Structure 1
Amino acid sequence: MNKEIDIKCPACGKIFQVTEQTYKKNEDIVCPPCGKAFKPQGNELNKKAKSE
């Protein structure tokens, strides 16, 4: 039941996957390509709201 969610790194723009569990905790997620840590839900929720 642990789905993977695509997340776009706000720093480098690369898309990578995290588990849904990690995403829902809203902890800092570290982008593997660039190493920057960020909060997932702030960016993703705003981006989705604007694009709809």
Structure 2
Amino acid sequence: MLRWAVIFLVIALVAGIFGFGGIAASSASFAKILFFVFIVLFLISLIFGRSAKS
């Protein structure tokens, strides 16, 4: 999932350089959403992964 966030971030940067503002904005927002979902899932896996082993 983090890979997809980075891919959409790169798409947003390239689209921004070439002047496609709408595509850049939507790609950047989608990358931001994916990044935060990744962080939440990572934290949940850390919390529940440690409690299952104990």
TM-score tier, shorter chain, comes to: 0.3 to 0.5
Q: TM (normalized to structure 1)?
A: 0.33
Using CA pairs below 8 Å that are at least 6 residues apart, which structure has the higher relative contact order? 2
Larger of the two Rg values belongs to structure: 2
Q: TM (normalized to structure 2)?
A: 0.33
Task: Considering fraction of residues, name the structure with more strand.
Answer: 1
Task: Considering fraction of residues, name the structure with more helix.
Answer: 2
